[in-house]
Amino acid sequence: MNARYAVRWLAEHGLPRVALRVHNRMGDPFARLLGSEEGHRDPYALIETLRGTGGVRSGPVGYAAFDYQLCREILRDNSFGVRTPFDPAVPGPLRRYAERVVLPPNPIEAPSMFMADPPQHGRLRRPVASAFTPRAVARLGDRVREVTTELLDDMAARGSVDLIGDFAARVPIAIIADMLGFPAADRELFLRWGDVVTPLLDVGISWRAHRRAMAATAAMEDYLRAHIDQMRRDPGDDIFSTLVSSGDLDTTELMASANVLMGAGFETTVNLIGNAIPLLLSHPDQLDLLRAEPERWPNAIEEVLRFEPPVQMTCRRALRAVDLDGVVLRPEERIIISLAGANRDPAKFPDPHRFDITRPNAKEHLSFGSGIHACIGASLARLEAAHALPALFDRFPHLRLDGTPRPCGLSTLHGYEHMPARLGRPANTQAVSALSVDRTLGS
């Protein structure tokens, strides 16, 4: 099986990896954005270079768009579908062989809704979307508050913590475990698996990273298959039990949907919370304003999403010949949509490189995408951040970072994998934190 996976890696990642390395040595800013430590650590200067005078840009792995209006247009245009795993430049025989290699269910492989176009997309998305309606998400508010309080209590007893591993990741994994009916003891499994599976979202990952991701997805498949069988015999009162019992999806589709729920309910939120902390600490005037006027937290969260989007880019393929600003994409050609570039387009957001929690149009960012593939977990991510962040800063008013946070080192997902911090002296009571959260959410 490793040999077959190696062929799949070569077609999907190996050849683009070589192309990126060659162009990186030539100083190509597109290759530096996708395949260098510089691009992973601080992509925005490279994005501005690539934006240039606007329009569609070409690069070593296809076309790209960085302007707000153009990115939004592509995301909402039914002339585009979701990407295929292979670039059209992959030689035909290699591509045909690689297409026959079936990978374990994961968010970027069919039958995941992320990789489906209409009408298949709608059939897969509708049952899962019921978990993320505004009413369904609002009901999770008390549980988010409970989880946040437990985590803050545990952190207070230690003083020095990792704000990613001990907080930002713990809030969403607890909620998504509840939604999927996982025992609390199994949360650690999914945190470990998630760490090694998320590189699959990137371009040109190493064979070692791909092999580790395949091992993790295979282990997740075994776990989920047994979990689904158990739910069919003895369903619980969680959201996933309802989905299993409905009979709308088969076992493979249910496993893919569970992966989507984990991706939509976890990765976006952990990066949103994790990105917000150093941003606010490095802008004390903004944090002081939030403490004085906590009703500004919802807009502050939108500005964090605009300024440091958890997902930096996505990809689409042309379903037919499409003319974009004078550049004609042929059928099957792909285009990278820079959500980070769109969010810092000065034509849409004046003074875009300034972090401003009072920005009036902050919510118009494209961090959750747009159109039929807009992030299904957006409302849950906002809810969790709206509870977790005010509670953290109210409980620990003297919070400070203890060293430089370590980025996750991916070009698609933008966040941190480690963020050491000292909490300082906590606030005298927890009531202040609870009051702030209530005022923030208007409850």
- Distance, CA of 296 to chain centre: 24
| Stretch among 57-71, 179-193, 429-443 having the lowest mean pLDDT | 429-443
List pLDDT tens digits, range 339-348. Answer: 999 999 999 9
Tokens of 316: 């689409």
Q: Buried b vs exposed e over 149-180: b needs ≥16 C-beta within 10 Å?
A: bebbeebbeeeebbbbebbbbbbbbbbbbbbb
Return the H-helix or E-strand segment holding 366.
Answer: none
Peptide bond into 111 cis (omega under 30): yes
Question: In 10 A of CB 423, how many CB atoms?
Answer: 21
User: Which one, of 348, 379, 381, 374, lies nearest residue 362 by Cα?
Assistant: 348
Mode of pairing for the β-strands spanning 334-338 and 62-65 = parallel
> b vs e for 8-20, b when ≥16 Cβ sit within 10 Å of the residue's Cβ?
bbbbbbbbbbebb
Taking only the tens place, the pLDDT of each residue in 65-114 is 999 999 999 999 999 998 776 776 677 787 776 777 777 777 777 778 88
Q: Is the pLDDT of residue 435 over 50?
A: no
Question: Is 242 exposed, middle or buried, given 0-12, 13-18 or 19+ CB atoms closer than 10 A?
Answer: middle
Continuous H helices in 181-296: 187-197, 207-233, 239-246, 251-262, 268-281, 284-292
User: What residue type is 74 in one-letter code?
Assistant: I
How much is the mean pLDDT over the chain?
Answer: 89
Backbone angles phi, psi at 292, to 5 degrees: -75, -35
pLDDT tens digit string along 191-218?
A: 898 888 888 888 889 999 999 998 999 9
Give the H/E segment covering residue 160. Answer: strand 160-162
pLDDT digits (tens, 9 = 90+) for 248-259: 899 999 998 888
What is the per-residue pLDDT across 10-64, written as a single tens digit (0 to 9) for each? 988 898 899 889 999 998 999 999 988 888 888 999 999 999 888 999 888 789 9
Give residue 125's identity as a one-letter amino acid code: R
Please state which of the four CATH numbers 1.10.630.10, 1.20.1290.10, 3.40.50.300, 3.40.50.1220 is assigned to the domain occupying 2-441: 1.10.630.10
